[in-house]
Copies of this chain bind each other. A is one copy, B any other.
């Protein structure tokens, strides 16, 4: 391994001068700078980021912690963030916390957090108390829906509003019995599913429709496979619905398959709406009606909050909520979106 002192020796200057050149600091003569750069090139020297980090604290790397790589939502999120950071010379690495409280806590250990200049955390397994226990010296922005202590900076979607829009749309398209797939009416701590179920519930109230508890179909992993079998089972079990609000697009994809298994047509027999507006959702057959949570704003805002903390550790925490917009497609019988 070639170090800075190898370069310094070869260029006939001090280590400090090499460091100054590479960090574009002042007080280096033009000719010296050139000589150093030549030698760097010639020896193929590259800086040791570990050493720099230990000494200076800066890493140039942002960490994103997500529950699962293979939920499409997180893949898209990671991709967007990575692209947004690239032009600033920052660099994203993604870790999977595995959706369990235990692994999420381990991903949030000081040891692991220290490795980043900042962390974007999309937690699901942690509750308020866990988050309260963590006092990292690294800027963190929470992405997500669960309740969090005030001191955290945070960006989230307009869950209740979005779910209400989706459900209203289903009702507006003639639905009278709207199930919520992945719904959750009570939980020790509010989270994505409870908020979206609230929105569903509000829309039903507003429309004067009853909400039969049988219409809430719970899920635990929110995977396509689980959603599919849940829907199949529900229909086989005699559940009668004319519409389904799926709490995520991933779940809606499973519902599409499950309804097909049960011999029901979408949207003729049962209408369907999701939430997230995944890239794939526009390309399903039929196209999935869904809620667009305004991904670009989510990303922009999350990075803005992060940069703000990077500049000023004591910046006041901010909670940002992105707007929700309905995207009507083939799984519902309404007119197309504007």
Q: A78-B96, A82-B98, A86-B98 are in contact. Are A279 and B70 (CB under 8 A)?
A: yes
CA of A98 to CA of B115 in the docked complex: distance in angstroms? 22
Main secondary structure of the interface of A (DSSP, over half): helix
Residues of chain B within 8 A of A46, CB atoms compared: 109-111
List of B residues within 8 angstroms of A115 by Cβ: 49-50
A228 within 8 A of B: yes
Contact with B along A209-246 (1 / 0, CB 8 A): 00000000000000011001000000000000000000
Whether the pair A224, B279 counts as a contact (CB closer than 8 A) is yes
A96 vs B93: C-alpha distance in the bound complex, in angstroms?
8
Contact check, B86 vs A48: say whether CB atoms are below 8 A apart: no
A297 in the interface (beta carbon within 8 A): no
Q: Are B48 and A111 in contact (CB under 8 A)?
A: yes
Partner of A50, one of B53, B257, B282: B53
Beta-carbon nearest neighbor of A53 in chain B = B50
> How far is it, in angstroms, between the C-alpha of A211 and the C-alpha of B46 when the chains are bound?
50
Residue of B nearest to A82 (CB): B96
Give A99-145 interface residues, CB cut-off 8 Å to B.
103, 109-112, 114-115, 137
Whether the Cβ atoms of A285 and B283 lie closer than 8 Å is no
A108 to chain B, nearest CB (A): 11
Q: Is A253 an interface residue (CB 8 A)?
A: yes
Q: Is A324 part of the contact surface with B, judged by Cβ < 8 Å?
A: no
A34-51 interface code vs B (CB 8 A; 1 in, 0 out)? 000000000010111111
A322 part of interface (Cβ distance < 8 Å): no
Question: Is A83 interfacial (CB 8 A cutoff)?
Answer: yes
Interface size on A, as a range, is 35 or more
Q: Mark A246-285, 1 if CB is under 8 A from B, else 0.
A: 0000000110110010000000000000000001101111
The interface centre, meaning the residue of A53, A76, A86, A282 with most chain B CB atoms within 10 A of its CB, is A53
**Complex: how many Å from CA A53 to CA B111?**
12
Contact partner of A49 (CB less than 8 A), chosen from B114, B228, B253, is B114
Other-chain residue from B51, B72, B79, B257 in contact with A96 (beta carbon distance below 8 A) = B79
Q: For the complex, is A94 an interface residue (Cβ under 8 Å from B)?
A: yes
Query: Which of A51, A96, A114 is packed against the most chain B CB atoms within 10 Å?
Result: A96
**Interface flag for A32 (CB, 8 Å):** no
A70 to B54, CA, bound (A): 33
Docked complex: A58-100 residues within 8 A CB-CB of B: 63, 68-72, 74-76, 78-79, 82-83, 86, 91-96, 98
A69-B78, A82-B96 are known; give 8 further A-B pairs, CB within 8 A: A47-B111, A49-B111, A70-B72, A78-B96, A79-B96, A225-B282, A280-B280, A285-B285
Which A residues lie at the B interface, using CB under 8 A? 1, 44, 46-51, 53-54, 63, 68-72, 74-76, 78-79, 82-83, 86, 91-96, 98, 103, 109-112, 114-115, 137, 224-225, 228, 253-254, 256-257, 260, 279-280, 282-285
12 contacts between A and B (CB under 8 A): A48-B54, A48-B111, A51-B54, A63-B93, A71-B75, A74-B75, A92-B95, A94-B94, A224-B280, A224-B283, A254-B283, A257-B283
